[in-house]
Amino acid sequence: MTALPDQPPGRLPAVPTGLLTVAQYAALGETEDGFTELVRGRLIMTPSPNPRHNIILGELHAQLRDQVPSTHRVIPDIDIDLQLAPPDEPGSVRRPDLVVVSRAEVDRVDREGGLLRASEVVLVVEILSPSSKRTDYRTKRDEYCDACIPFYWIIDVDKPVSLAAPHFAGEFGYQEAPAEAGVYEATEPFPVKIAVNQLC
């Protein structure tokens, strides 16, 4: 009789049913089902990115890394607790393509475990794919706004590649900014210059 192969380490064969808190989601680890985000307690699946998406992500990370102040870190593809519900209620966790978060928050996760908290994120970046445009432009935009994340960059990979940079304006929500397809420059959340036309 041939034995069945063991499950790969760190991966679960199935996910629980019902609504999950952020802590329950964090305890799942990676699953074979591919569920990677939590929206109001429900697990959802995010399709794997295509090569162009990952090339742009790598180039953006390289450009940002040397411009971010020493008090912060640039992290790609990481879970963020949006802190939109009390800890004992169904929560929301998104996995942006890239975030800039305080170094103190990274140290806290090292000490205490858990997920990075939206309250310590200064910039969140989503790179659009054909299946994510509506989610990134509307749903995630609203969620990141509700989480009071100060800056949200949306990179559209359709040529010419462009970067839109809404910023949080309190009760007015995210204020729009024209998309930039050449060089994007800003003074907030830190002085930054991104050669958008060199991302791909």
Task: Sketch out the chain's domains with CATH numbers.
Answer: 44-198 (3.90.1570.10)
Give, as one character, the DSSP assignment of residue 181: S
Distances (CA, A) of 198 to 11, 74, 98: 37, 19, 18
Work out the number of other CB atoms within 10 angstroms of the CB of residue 128: 22
User: Do the beta carbons of residue 38 and residue 25 sit within 8 Å?
Assistant: yes
Is the confidence at residue 151, as pLDDT, over 60? yes
CA–CA dist 110, 114 (Å, integer): 9
Burial track 85-102 (b if 16+ CB lie within 10 A, e otherwise): eeeeebbbbbebbbbbbb
Is the confidence at residue 108, as pLDDT, over 90? yes
* Confidence class for position 29, pLDDT limits 50, 70, 90: confident
Token pair recorded at residue 127: 């790179």
Percent of the chain with pLDDT over 90: 72
- Give residue-wise pLDDT tens across range 83-107: 999 999 999 999 999 999 999 999 9
The alpha carbon dihedral of 91, 97, 99, 104 has a sign of positive
* Confidence class for position 14, pLDDT limits 50, 70, 90: low
Percent of the chain with pLDDT over 70: 88
